[in-house]
């Protein structure tokens, strides 16, 4: 048997499932034409990009911009809050989507997400000074005592 005859075996195209005479070697040897190869490759890529968002649990297609991301485009900007406070995109939007001002003094600059140090649950937006003050007072009892002191003087 001639070596050239050995390479011209019948194969089945992975994309259209039609039999064809294999003349090529390499990747294209499994497809009857280039069109079938590109169709198959694009289907496979699209299938691998379909994911479920880790935060909101909704399905999304991973675009090139968010390649290998576990978060959908809506939740990607709240990724740090998800890991730190376990709040998802829609819940984080509740804090950042409304009026952006401190919940205590009303300041609009230097905002951060205030949270309970015991449970780790997010409370709302606070400026850095108010958040630090609450963090130092630690318990509601200490806050009441400080308020009582301020009112009495």
pLDDT of residue 46: 62
C-beta of residue 126 within 8 angstroms of C-beta of residue 112 = yes
Looking up tokens 């490759």 gives 41
Report the CATH number of the 99-153 domain.
3.40.1800.10
Of 33, 44, 35, which Cα lies nearest the Cα of 11?
33
Q: Is the separation of the CB atoms in 56 and 81 below 8 Å?
A: no
* Whole-angstrom distance, CA of residue 33 vs CA of residue 83: 47
Q: What is the pLDDT of residues 75-132, one digit of tens each?
A: 777 777 777 777 776 677 777 777 788 888 888 888 888 877 777 778 888 889 988 8
Per-residue pLDDT tens for 9-65?
Answer: 778 888 888 888 877 667 667 888 888 888 888 777 666 667 888 877 888 877 665
Which one, of 59, 61, 20, 60, lies nearest residue 37 by Cα? 20
**Where along the chain do its domains lie?**
1-46, 53-95, 99-153
Task: Give CA–CA dist 95/128, Å, rounded.
Answer: 16
132-143 pLDDT tens trace:
888 888 788 888
Quick one: CA dihedral 61, 63, 65, 68, positive or negative? positive
Task: Please say if the pLDDT value at position 1 is more than 50.
Answer: no
């Amino acid at each position: 048997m001639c070596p050239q005859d050995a390479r011209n075996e019948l194969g089945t195209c992975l994309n259209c499932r039609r039999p064809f005479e294999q003349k090529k070697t390499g990747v294209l040897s499994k497809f009857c034409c280039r069109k079938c190869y590109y169709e198959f490759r694009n289907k496979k890529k699209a299938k691998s990009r379909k994911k479920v968002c880790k935060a909101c649990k909704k399905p999304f297609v991973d675009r090139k911009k968010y390649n290998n991301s576990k978060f959908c485009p809506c939740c990607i900007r709240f990724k740090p809050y998800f890991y730190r406070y376990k709040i998802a995109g829609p819940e984080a939007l509740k804090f950042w989507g409304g009026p952006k001002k401190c919940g205590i003094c009303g300041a609009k600059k230097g905002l951060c997400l205030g949270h309970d140090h015991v449970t780790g649950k997010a409370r709302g937006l606070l400026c850095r000074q108010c958040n630090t003050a609450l963090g130092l007072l630690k318990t509601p009892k200490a806050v009441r005592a400080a308020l009582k002191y301020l009112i009495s003087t």
